[in-house]
Structure 1
Amino acid sequence: MRIDGRVVTPTGVVTGSVEVTGTRIGAVTPGEVADPQWIVPGFVDMHNHGGGGDTFTTGDPDAAVRAAAFHLRHGTTTLFASLVSSPFPLMRAATSAFAPLVDAGVLAGIHFEGPYLSTVRCGAQNPDFLRDPSEEELTALLTLGGGAVRMVTIAPERPGALDAIQFLVAHGVIAAVGHTDATYDQTLAAVDAGASVGTHVFNGMRPPHHREPGPVFALLGAASVVCEFVADGVHLHDGTLSFATTVTGADRAALVTDAMAAAGMPDGAYDLGGQEVTVSDRVARLTRDGAIAGSTLTMDAALRQAVGAGIPIVDACRMAATTPARAIGLGETVGSLQPGWRADLAILDADLRVVRVMRAGSWVS
């Protein structure tokens, strides 16, 4: 199968075609084409709580399948199911429910955003469920998941956090820093312990100050850390997004949605981790205090926002696909239009809106 257009690769735009053989990309070939459509790698979303009216946060496998299908139609061909801070029985139940979906390829893994987070910077996380890291809990979840648990977000200032980070990394799980009131030095200690992702950097963190730089500067400056950015124009001003990516470069910046069930749905009341969320004019906030509560974002919209903020489309696609794929250990399989890699791609029109999506060589209906 040959698909013609402007092909976005990690090193530049190739006007020509993508050859698909079975489930893999056979070649990217320069040539004259009649259709100026964009052909971009399928998006990789490493932080996603749901969409299309369905959520990952309750551990319902049927809802998870529907939420993944919603985001697939928006070009996300690889995604983590992210849970919010929860009681341990729910974490166990979700791990059991989602592990078969990871095995089947519907999900790329499970991300526990909490419950080992800061009460001061909990944001939309339910404060009733926050607690110190527990190696006993983590051992049980990793054993139960059989490789399905792929990332855990931790506040490094909590007692036992550094030990938990070392434990996760030793077991092949990504340790992320987020929802934290940590100092600059505490954050760097987490990085030294093996933390390699900054969870929605700037949001849910002690704000940077020129005399107390805190976690934001530590994560942006750490060469081993991939920084997540929620590019919806709400979580981050476009100027902040543009500036931050000049510090990290596209190879350390990952666009994420942090989407909740309300993505793609009308304004109204929704639930997130047992808390009511009010969505108005695409912005999701906790009803009780107005804190930003996830997003209604999709990855194609995040790409448009990044390009609109002045980020070149090649870099924006690296941030939406190539870099997050590498961050979650899939960097030699997905996230780039290269020969031999899985044929995951999205066709976009001149306005960068999704026209068609392919996953593993098959068009998504």
Structure 2
Amino acid sequence: MKNKYFDLQVNGYAGVDFNQNDLSLDDLTQVCVKLKQDGVAGILATIITADFSDMIKRVTNIARFSKQSEIIAEMVKGIHLEGPFINGADGFRGAHPQEFILRPTVERMAQLLDACDGLLKLVTLAPEKDEDNLVTKYLYQQGIVISAGHCDPTFEQLKEAVTEGLSMFTHLGNGCPQLLHRHDNIIQRALSLKDRLWLCFIADGHHVPFHALKNYIDLVGVDRVIITTDAMAAAGAKQGLYTLSNITLEVGEDRIVRETGKSNFAGSAIDMKSSAENLAKQLDLTAEQIHQVTYANAVSVFK
């Protein structure tokens, strides 16, 4: 299994965007076939912030398709909701549309959980927006993994959320402004809780430069690191224009994914095999270490 990967943040792949209301059974089936061919053993299909009713439709479709196709059931190990309960401030929200970002409530979360029909495995939210950690507590009681991301909690807010069940940080080093306080910033706060959090990183060299990624992994240790792709439809496909939900994205020759006319990243076009190759060539990780951060750690969380 050491050439296999588990990716807990996949928005789309091979030209197919999971964040569309008209996603078809055939499209998702073909994506799963391609993922398996590319060495992936399982994914969490990731649905990002959108109109709440659209998010309900999208997770409902994925849950329904998983019951209709053996390959989808095999490959889609669950659903990752990245939003809508994130920080709406520019820089922290990234490409998530501000107009659809919502205040976390147990009632809204319960609607999404019900629509996922047993497939919801991971929720990325902003702890500072979760009043009294009510949604975090609710999800923890339901056995759902809670991750901080696109957020800016104080150290005390983050620590309290961890006490209430939050156990992960989504694509650390991203989902935050380029300019931060040099000491008291969200990256430092998360790193200070490295013994209590799974820390996820994107290993494409763009989201986090390789020298910085090496520093993070050296500090945290491979026992607490999970490599994800945050892949969108261009992963496993050629450069060009793509969609992510209602956002138009452009993938250039450099394989960087950006909103058309903007500079911020909007997902990635990398796959897990290329991520693993980067870890070997750029960071000098051993095969055993690469297996741990691209497969074993994630499987231990979502088994």
Task: State the TM-score, normalizing by the size of structure 1.
Answer: 0.75
Deviation at 1:93, TM superposition (A): 1.2
Q: Which of 27, 31, 42 is the matching residue for 1:78? A: 42
Q: Which residue of 2 aligns with 1:273?
A: 245
Q: Which residue of 2 aligns with 1:248?
A: 220
**1:259 corresponds to 2:235:** no
Distance 2:264 2:33 in 1: 28
- Could you list the per-position Cα deviations for residues 240-268 of structure 1 after superposition, in whole angstroms to 9, with x for gaps in the alignment? 11111112211110110100001122221
Q: Tell me, which stretches of 5 or more residues in structure 2 are unaligned?
A: 68-72
Q: Which residue of 1 aligns with 2:122?
A: 151
Structure whose residues are more often helix by fraction: 2
Q: Which amino acid aligns with 1:306?
A: L
Q: Secondary structure at the residue paired with 1:260? A: coil
Max radius of gyration: which structure?
Answer: 1
- Could you list the per-position Cα deviations for residues 81-131 of structure 1 after superposition, in whole angstroms to 9, with x for gaps in the alignment? 001101121122122211134453331001110011112211111112111
**1:106 corresponds to 2:75:** yes
Contact preservation (8 Å) 2:105, 2:134: no
Identify if the C-alpha distance between structure 1 residues 61 and 108 changes in structure 2 by more than 3 Å, giving closer, same or farther: farther
Matches within 5 A, 1:294-305: 294-305=267-278
Structure whose residues are more often strand by fraction: 1
Distance 2:98 2:53 in 1: 17
Contact preservation (8 Å) 1:283, 1:295: yes
Q: Which residue of 2 aligns with 1:339?
A: none
Q: Which residue of 2 aligns with 1:192?
A: 163
Q: Which amino acid aligns with 1:100?
A: R
Task: State the TM-score, normalizing by the size of structure 2.
Answer: 0.90
Structure 1 outlier segments of 4+, above 6 Å: none
Identify if the C-alpha distance between structure 1 residues 326 and 218 changes in structure 2 by more than 3 Å, giving closer, same or farther: farther
CA RMSD of aligned residues (A): 1.8
Q: Secondary structure at the residue paired with 1:151? A: strand
For this pair of structures, how many residues does the alignment match? 290
Contact preservation (8 Å) 2:47, 2:59: no
Q: Secondary structure at the residue paired with 2:237? A: coil
Q: Tell me, which stretches of 5 or more residues in structure 1 are unaligned?
A: 1-38, 331-365
Identify if the C-alpha distance between structure 1 residues 128 and 320 changes in structure 2 by more than 3 Å, giving closer, same or farther: same
Contact preservation (8 Å) 1:132, 1:161: no
Q: Which residue of 1 aligns with 2:7?
A: 45
**Worse-matched range after superposition: 83-92 or 172-181:** 83-92
Contact preservation (8 Å) 2:130, 2:136: no
Deviation at 1:160, TM superposition (A): 2.6
